Structure 1
């Protein structure tokens, strides 16, 4: 895929329905990622363990907007729609964005390393995206000395002026130690300072991958 359109999907699930939701979500997302007629890649599926509880994240990749259009139309005309409709009774809310991948922050291919994932979301001041990207281009090499990013995306449809990036750690203690080491590097502390300057809100959610997630 040359140009990746990425759709983070967020599902808020009724607490009593979590286990049924997981079974149905596995059936749906496994089926669409294995369907050769659909031009879609499932990056991963996760459950929030620190952050808003009973919340699930699914990240899908498409080959540009035409790929998204074709895939969603095919799903609507297929048996996959029936499976997806079985998710709805378990939900209290859902949302979706259309995002584009940062070229300097390519999404990691499927892997099984274990541990936890951190999804960080920044609500930027309108007009600050280019400055944010410039700051991260300078600082990311310093951070890579300790941990490789999973991927990063910026919103194009949905909540605008928003940036997401994801990291993977063996555990929360390693996350803490890695972040402390990164602060000692010249390039990274400046990037963090600029990030705070360009942002209105920042969120961090700790996620655990579901059993069928390609990234886990």
Structure 2
């Protein structure tokens, strides 16, 4: 039965690629990416200012209790664009896997007693967002440790990738193709604000990021691509972040 369904799905995709207009093809490609099941949960925690150091120290000591249940992609401390915040990304293969992880954590006495009971009073808020990686992106590791990461979040106009997908891809590619920045990953929101895109960039340092941005703003290839993309842009937010000592992405 599963084989037959897969064959039918592939046949329908092939037919749509032949007869569908270009805008609909973009939408189908985005949907196909989600059929793999893998998604990334973005979590942002706001910490009480006087507890920031203590929270990071506790997390450094106890994070192994959490990573025993699912894969941590990266954990960062926000330096610019949000004070006393941490941002982390968790990878899941399916929603059922995540549900199982959350259930297991709720029954893990070590996690609850050694971490949750101590960490939660240190926080002022928590926020999460479910994202998928776009089809034309893949996770890239930083070439070396000691750099900085920029999370650029773009609120796009309603309509999804079928409307603004090609223009957004062109703008990201214009920056990365000539080496202005390394895109660690490009993500499209599923739960949380809709029509939101995230680009996680890596730079050697904050000054190198500033110099690269200055060069990019004078590059006609980048200017042309960005000018097209921003016609679909509603708002944008950037955060510059430093990886924590326990982050898999250094």
Larger Rg: 2
Alpha-carbon distance between aligned partners in 1 of 2:133 and 2:100, rounded to the nearest angstrom: 19
What secondary structure sits across from 1:86 in the alignment?
Answer: helix
Could you tell me which residue of structure 2 aligns to residue 104 of structure 1?
Answer: 136
- Structure 2 residue corresponding to 1:66, chosen from 92, 96, 111: 96
Q: CA RMSD in A?
A: 2.1
CA contact (8 A) 1:111 1:215 kept: no
**What residue ranges of structure 1 are gaps of 5+ in the alignment?**
none
Distance 1:110-1:206 versus aligned 2 partners, 3 A rule: closer
After superposition, residues 1-216 of structure 1 pair within 5 angstroms as 2-33=36-67, 35=68, 38=69, 40-78=70-108, 79-82=110-113, 83-109=115-141, 112-144=144-176, 145-146=178-179, 147-216=181-250
- Length-normalised TM-score, structure 1: 0.87
Aligned length: 211
Does the 8 Å CA contact 1:122/1:202 hold for their aligned counterparts?
A: yes
Deviation at 1:14?
0.5
For normalisation by structure 2, the TM-score amounts to 0.76
Larger strand percent:
1
Contact 2:142 2:184 in 1 (8 A): no
Give 2:11's aligned residue: none
Unaligned runs of 5+ in 2: 1-35
